[in-house]
Amino acid sequence: MNENYIESTRKQFEYYKMLGEKTFAQLSDESLFWQHNSDSNSIAIVVKHLWGNMLSRWTNFLTTDGEKEFRNRDAEFENDIASRQQLLDMWNEGWACLFNALDQLKTEDLEKIVYIRNQGHTVLEAINRQLAHYPYHIGQIVFIGKMQSNNNWKSLSIPKGNSQVFNEDKFSKPKQTSHFTDEFLNDKTE
């Protein structure tokens, strides 16, 4: 299992990154900054929080606490991103930091202990923690995007009412062994 864990995890992260990007592509600049009310987050705020968390958690991942001194978590929830390009730059910087750290890991690293706010985690546990955290926020991004798009939303999964057709197609093919994200990450039609 451990030999494939890092690769599988990377694919999972790539999949959620793709969901965010496919959401951004469907939205106007204005929609990226929309907030339901002052206590809610815009997509831009969620991206800023993910960026701050990723830089903090994945910079010097194996050697320093995951809550870095440079991080200002409270400021991550201030809606001060000025443009779509700035949002995308932060998004890409955070993901690049994550992928760089993952790409340096070896199977034998998975049982090492790393700390987040002085709480010890195995590397495997720390990865799982972020693999639960980031999709939670990507789901928020998708949900806000779907609300903002109204009837123009293009489904990122099986569209409503198409489950039977989707399943018929899947079961009409031979059984295979591959990561479930492969078909989505390799789909260049969009």
**From the first residue on, what is the mean pLDDT of each consecutive set of 10 residues in the chain (190 residues)?**
84 97 97 94 98 98 98 95 97 98 96 98 98 98 94 89 86 82 63
Tens digit of pLDDT for each residue in 95-115?
A: 999 999 999 999 999 999 999
Q: For residues 103 and 125, what is the distance between their CA atoms, to the nearest angstrom?
A: 17
Structure tokens at 41: 């987050």
Q: The tokens 């995890």 sit on which residue?
A: 9
Closest by CA position to 114, among listed 56, 72, 74: 56
- Amino acid letter for position 9: T
Write down the architecture of domain 2-155 according to CATH: Up-down Bundle (1.20)
**Residue pair 156/184 in contact by the 8 Å Cβ criterion:** no
Instruction: With 0.85 as the threshold, say if the pTM is over it.
Output: yes
156-189: pLDDT as tens digits: 988 888 888 888 888 888 888 777 777 777 764 4
